[in-house]
Structures are given as C-alpha cells and as structure tokens.
Amino acid sequence: MGIREERDKRVKWFMNDRFGMFIHWGLYSIPAVGEWKRSYERISLEEYDKYFDAFNPVDYDPEKWARLAKGAGMKYAVLTVKHHEGFCLFDSQYTDFKATNTKCGRDLVREYVDAFRKEGLKVGLYYSLFDWHHPDYHHYGDLYHPMRDNEEFKDYKYDINRYLEYMHNQVRELCTNYGKIDLFWFDNSYGDMVGEKWKATELITMMRKLQPEMVINNRLECNASAKGSIGTSNPTVYAGDFVAPEQIIPPQGILDDEGMPLPWEASCTMNNNWGYVTNPNNYKTAKCLIRKLVECVSKGGNFLVNVSPDARGRIPSQSEKVLLEIKEWFEENEDSIVGCGKAALEKPEWGYYTQKGNKIYAHLFEQNIGPIPLKIETSRIKRITSLHDMSEVMIVTPWVTELFPDYTFINFQEPPQGTFPLQNEIDT
C-alpha cells in the first residue's frame, strides 16, 4: 500500500467522526494568563517552579469531561500531555517534571484515556515538540524560548541530540504505556526546526510500528499555516495524515496538488485562549460554534473545539454551558454531521449543505421569508424532512418556478432561528 492509501485507511474514523474536544491543561492553568506565559514574560526556570510546587488539581474528574464531550456530540479528544512549558501530565521515566511528582501524585493521562475510552470516545494526545524546560532544548537566540534574549545564556552549551533522544523516548512511552492511542497531535515545526531536524523519519517509523492505526497531524513537518508534502504526489513518511489549520477555517476546504480533497481539522478556542484564563470576555456562543462545525463538515473537514480546565481540574462553567447548548442541538441534528462530508451541490446563499450517501442536509443559517430556493431538480428529490422534528417539508410552489425556471423551490414555513438542517433524500 502506498503512503496515501495507508493514510486514507487510517483517517476513516476521523473523517467520519468530525467533531472533537481539544483540552489545554498544564501548570499554566495556575497563573491563568495562557500557556505562553513563560515565553512572553521571559520567566526563568527557577521562578516557574513555583507553579510545579503549587499544582494540585483536586477536582480533576476526567469522566466528567468525557461525559460533557460526548453529550456535545464530540467523538474524540486531544489532551496536551506536554505543552511548550515541558510539564508532563503523564508519568514519564525520563523526567522529574511531571504530575506524579507534584502534590497531586496522579498520572493524569492514564486517568484521561481510561475515562474517555469508557465513554466510547477516541483518545488523542497533544505533544509539544518545543520544550522550554529541557536543558538541551535551544535557549539563547531561539525564536520562542523564554531565555531567548537573556545574555546569561549566550554561551550556554546545549546538545539538541540529547533533547531529541528525550523527546523520542517520551513519544515511545506514550505509544506504549497507554493502550491504543487513536490520534497524535504534534506541535509544531518552526524556522529551520522542521522534519528531519526532529529526526522525523526515525520517530514516525517507531510510532507507526507501535500504533499502526494512529492518526497523526502534519506538524512534524510544518506549522499551523502550511500543509506540507501531504499535499504533493510525493509525501514524506512524516507528512502526517491530516492538515491542522488553527483558528481559521479554510475557504474551500483543503486540496492536494491534484485537486483531491485532503483530510483536515480546524482547531479553535472557545474564548480566544487555549490555556485557562480568568474571566475571559470573548466567549463564542453555541450557535457560532455549531455553525462553524457545519461549515467545516460542508468543506470536508473536522472541527476541534478547545476547553481550558482550571488549576482545580474543572472545565469552566461557561464552557460547560456552551457544550450543553451544543448537546441540545446535536441530539436532534447529529445525522447531519457524523458520517457527513462535502455535498455534491454548490454552497447555497442561505447556509451550507452537508451530505451522507444520497441524503443532503441543508443547514439554513438565514431566516427565510418564504420558500427556500433549492437548486435541485424536483424529480430527483424523494422526500424533504426537517431534521429537528422529522416533519415533512412540502416541495414546489408552481407560480414561482415559472418565474425562476432554473430553481426548484420548496414551500417552507418560517424556520426557527439557528442552524437548522433539512434532510433531503435524493434519488441517485
């Protein structure tokens, strides 16, 4: 099997499931200004240790997270098992900078994978390639390192190979000690730290051997704004299985150089922050997130929505509220998302189409004043149903079709506000 056939086999569940939960959690939940704090404020290792000493998430209950995700229609999750700060939520034998050595004394990743699997969700691990804690990661002069302009580190000698050995060892632990891992999310390449600078061929070969079915993103080779060789006819072995745009939904989905659709997943915050912050004031509404989910699916992509647990280990109540609202919508409209992809029809003015087999779901984003103009031949439509209550929607109002012969109109009552999928079964 070629690289592309293997990829298509691996991503089957991923492209079917469509909706996931991103979880950014680490020591940075304590200062509560986001996961980049150490870099932004040039905080020394010693000073940052105070968060290690304080870490004690007494309310960590991943089953609660899993139930919330599942309720909202999310089918998989991705947890930051090590973010750029280098702190490990898992019990790694290669470092002391880990949750099991803090007051909490628990392997938080073990509990996460157990809890999410128990709810029937697929489990993903986010692992940061940069590591601001490891002594052999770049210091002075590195684009992002907290000590990048600290003169004390000007002549500091580090050996990147020692870091790479550490990183490879940890990835091996993660692929060995936690059962079947469904997804691995690397973050991220930058500057000249791309691909083989991470010894990527060696790393991927090891990962594929340990977890042959695991879906891996493309960031061993690129950053958030690139697709990398996955889009070419000759992808590298570490090109990854999907493209990972961040905080943006590509206008037309993502295609390879031959115009064939690529697997992709857009990740997005709920409140403009990945890590926990106190009193965020820019929460997206459930309605906005549902619409973005629909948009992703209509363009053949996935949507990964982030939550930021606090230092006690709780998903903030505002996020919980949004997820419960999404749950309400999902309970009635799941069929228009899961297993769906890009429709064979052009994007309509009033919303988006998604499609699954011979069913076309028309997501009405706009309040229409009367019949919805569907550009489909009436004879090809078997039935139109409004998905939320399964009521029949009548087709055709003859006088309008005379006025607009190339449209098919349906007779339609005023739709309720919000995204509102219609289910059209088309005779194919």
Q: Can you give the binding site for ligand JFZ, defined by CB under 6 A?
A: 35-36, 187-188, 223-225, 246, 267, 274
CB of 125 to ligand JFZ, least distance (A): 13
Rounded to 10°, the helix 286-298/317-333 angle is 50
Q: For residue 352, which of 420, 268, 409 has the smallest C-alpha distance?
A: 420
Least distance (Å) from ligand JFZ to the CB of residue 405?
Answer: 48
Q: How far is the CB of 189 from ligand JFZ (least distance, A)?
A: 8
Residue closest to ligand JFZ when measured from CB atoms = 223
Residue with tokens 């939904």: 249
Q: In angstroms, give the least distance from the CB of 127 to ligand JFZ.
A: 11
Q: How far is the CB of 73 from ligand JFZ (least distance, A)?
A: 21
- Least CB distance to ligand JFZ at residue 187 (A): 5
Q: How far is the CB of 204 from ligand JFZ (least distance, A)?
A: 20
Q: Taking a C-beta distance cutoff of 8 angstroms, is the pair 222, 281 a contact?
A: no
Nearer to ligand JFZ, 43 or 374 (CB): 43
| Contacting residues for 72 by C-beta, under 8 A, at least 6 apart | 19, 21, 323, 324, 326, 327, 330
Contact 308, 319 (CB under 8 A): yes
β-pairing verdict for 408-410 and 372-374: antiparallel
Q: Which is nearer to ligand JFZ, 248 or 344 (CB)?
A: 248
- In the bound state with ligand JFZ, the residue whose beta carbon lies nearer, of 271 and 354, is 271
* Alpha helices for 41-135 (secondary structure H): 45-54, 62-71, 108-118
> Residue 326 CB, nearest distance to ligand JFZ (Å)?
20
The distance of closest approach from Cβ of residue 287 to ligand JFZ in the complex, given in angstroms and rounded to an integer, is 23
Residue 313: CB minimum distance to ligand JFZ, A: 19
Nearer CB in complex with ligand JFZ: 107/187: 187
Residue 128 or 408: which CB sits closer to ligand JFZ? 128
Q: State which residue, 224 or 243, has the beta carbon closest to ligand JFZ.
A: 224
CA 195, 199, 201, 205 torsion-angle sign: negative
Nearest Cα neighbor of 232 from 254, 209, 258, 253 is: 258
Q: What is the 3-state secondary structure (H, E, C) of 317-379?
A: HHHHHHHHHHHHHHHHHHHHCCCCEECCCCCCCCEEEEEECCEEEEEECCCCCCCEEECCCHH
- Cβ atoms of 267 and 278 within 8 Å: the answer is no
Q: Report in angstroms how near the CB of residue 22 gets to ligand JFZ at its nearest.
A: 7
Residue 99 bridge partners (DSSP): none
Structure tokens at 322: 């949004």
Amino acid sitting at position 354: T
CA distances from 46 to 25, 43, 133, 394 (A): 21, 8, 10, 69
* Integer Cα distance of 106 and 100 in angstroms: 5
Q: How are strands ordered across the β-sheet holding 381-386?
A: 341-342, 351-356, 359-364, 421-426, 381-386, 391-392
The phi and psi torsions of 328 (rounded to 5 degrees) equal -55, -45
Q: 18 or 24: whose CB is closer to ligand JFZ?
A: 24
Nearer to ligand JFZ, 35 or 221 (CB): 35
The residue among 80 and 211 lying less far from ligand JFZ, judged by its C-beta, is 80
Measured CA to CA, the distance from residue 407 to residue 418 in angstroms comes to: 24
Choose between 90 and 412: whose C-beta lies nearer to ligand JFZ. 90
> Strand 421-426 relative to strand 381-386: parallel, antiparallel, unpaired?
antiparallel
Q: 142 or 187, CB closer to ligand JFZ?
A: 187
